[in-house]
Structure 1
Amino acid sequence: MERNSKIYVAGHRGLVGSAIVRNLKEKGCSNIIGRTHEELDLKDQKSVRNFFREEKPEYVFLAAAKVGGINANNIYPADFIYENLEIQNNVIKAAFDYKVKKLLFLGSSCIYPKMCPQPIKEKYLLSGYLEATNEAYALAKISGLKMCQFFKRQYGADFISCMPTNLYGPKDNFDLNSSHVMPALIRKFHEAKVNNKEFVEVWGTGTPLREFLHVDDMADGCVFLMGNYDGEEHVNIGTGKEITIRELAETIKEIVGFTGELKFNKDKPDGTPRKLLDVSKLKELGWTYKVQLKDGIKSTYHWFKENYL
């Protein structure tokens, strides 16, 4: 991938896609294209094929997806499986038919089995039952990952996949009805501080362990893989470090400056009890993360106050 290569970032305005665009620009790439949902509906096969035929991108980062937290996944499973299958099927097939040189598909660590051995190695995919609260999303993303594998196996297409851990950072979704745990807690603690609330409710018991990767690190890892990996198996992207939800909540509480109490609502679901990626494969390839969690939360909270309120 050269600096003047034509690069299409699908989902360029989202959390993941915008970080990839930032990283590419920092590395001197100047021929980056993107389309808003209004300009190109990736669920529309004809429109997607027309786009690829006319624009002829050389490299594709497939970061577009319908995403959400536990609540959204529980309420809208049909939407999550159908829309994600539409998006990735259309883009991957068009990329193949219109001779894209290389494509990177982004999965998500939540598509590993619920009770995976820890830390989670790439080979554990499809080795057990999925987490029920995000089964629909997981099945769609597994299909996309496998689609890339099979196009590589059958046709020799240079389509690769990566598996990021839990992401956070600028342009995250802070809507309490559809967000993930990190942005949800940032918003809850901020609003509790502003409104002088006595406590903040946190879903679940606080005991699940989670790994968090700043989205700028994720983007750097993706661009690294685009230039340094062509294997059939997907690659985990993470930090290899974990923290309990309670510890996360306490850290965010401190950064935001909320002085009230924490209350854990044990009637709400915890999700997967532990989810830590084995990132040794990526380390062996020569990449590791840079942003420490506390620093990343501070910068994300600053972005939230400057851009979301």
Structure 2
Amino acid sequence: MSLITEQPLQLERTPVDRTARVYVAGARGMVGSAVWRHLARQGFIDLVGPSSMELDLRDRSAVFAWFAANKPQVVILSAARVGGIRANAAYPAQFLSDNVRIQVNVLDAALHHGIDRLLFLGSSCIYPRDAAQPIREEALLTGALEPTNDAYAIAKIAGILHVQAVRRQHGLGWISAMPTNLYGPGDNFHPEHSHVLPSLIRRFDTAHQSGAATVLNWGTGTPRREFLHVDDLARACLHLLDRYDGQSPINVGTGEDISIRETAALVAEIVGYRGSVEWDPDQPDGTPRKLLDISRLTALGWTPQIPLKEGISRTYAWYREHKAAGTART
């Protein structure tokens, strides 16, 4: 049985004070930087977010010292070690260890300082591989995970349960959100360690620029994925902090999915690649389908705003600009 029960959405919160000191953990990453930009646009005037060089979140004593010195009032935990299928399969011990340590250190420090507003960001990979589609929050812990990223998923599940345990034991208003597959400016376009959409953008751009006759993609192209622009996620994060106070994690997505094969065709069109496309079925497909039920979030008044084609076009433009400047993660 799921550990999440049906409960009415709680709408009792007052909006976050725009003068409060907000700590965005992972502020230099794709998600954290998008959250930072959105908070700044919404009038927040005291944002803090040291880089991983300035503060290693795996170092417990350093995290506690930073909290004591900087005294944040709100925490958004977006910091994580992330990667695509190949990285998750190759380094499961690091994905599990690093993410658990990051989460435990930040959450324990926030509890030590009595911080009442905290948002933990997980991932849709927490749900069972064969969960009924679209996936409701109640599916958590009801079946086996996708083997290619089970270590990362277990770490994120631990974070959700940690947040729920603090709510039960200490009464703090901590919440969790589970984003679907994310993309956007600041993504990782590494040929081995990136997620599917930035990987496709890099692969088709390289082929287009070099005049390659064929692009070879991993897997069969049949799995279906839901893609959410990171700027839409940033809007959802503040929306939840302002309005939601409940124990259940909240799914964040678009409510629509697309096959990897269709995604590849869309990327090729946007990039301008006109060669042939082949598929390597010896490479892993991952979960056959992963579409989130976002009815709880839409009931709170949030909807996505960036269509997939527009979002990919904007991301490709960002990639080209930053690749030329040498500032894209490739």
TM-score range, shorter chain: over 0.9
Specify the alignment match of 2:182 in structure 1. 167
Specify the alignment match of 2:109 in structure 1. 94
1:65-80 → structure 2 map (5 Å cutoff): 65-80=80-95
The one-letter code sitting in structure 1 at the alignment partner of 2:50 is: R
Residue 87 of structure 1 deviates from its aligned partner by 0.1
Specify the alignment match of 1:279 in structure 2. 294
1:219-259 deviation digits (Å, cap 9, x = unpaired): 10011000100100100000000000000000000000001
Q: Is the 8 A contact 1:56 1:100 kept in 2?
A: no
The one-letter code sitting in structure 2 at the alignment partner of 1:283 is: T
Residue 101 of structure 1 deviates from its aligned partner by 2.4
1:1-309 → structure 2 map (5 Å cutoff): 1-309=16-324
Aligned length: 309
Cα distance in 1 for partners of 2:250, 2:182 equals 16
4+ residue stretches of structure 1 with deviation over 2 A?
none
Residue 2 of structure 1 deviates from its aligned partner by 1.4
Q: Is the 8 A contact 1:214 1:291 kept in 2?
A: yes
Cα distance in 2 for partners of 1:247, 1:11 equals 32
Cα distance in 2 for partners of 1:38, 1:215 equals 23
Output the TM-score relative to the length of structure 1.
0.99
Cα distance in 2 for partners of 1:264, 1:123 equals 35
Cα distance in 2 for partners of 1:126, 1:67 equals 21
Q: Is the 8 A contact 1:122 1:234 kept in 2?
A: yes
Cα distance in 2 for partners of 1:199, 1:138 equals 34
The one-letter code sitting in structure 2 at the alignment partner of 1:39 is: E
Output the TM-score relative to the length of structure 2.
0.93
Cα distance in 2 for partners of 1:219, 1:232 equals 20
Residue 81 of structure 1: SS of its match in structure 2? helix
Cα-Cα RMSD: 0.6
Cα distance in 2 for partners of 1:102, 1:93 equals 14
Cα distance in 2 for partners of 1:277, 1:264 equals 26
Q: Is the 8 A contact 1:11 1:64 kept in 2?
A: yes
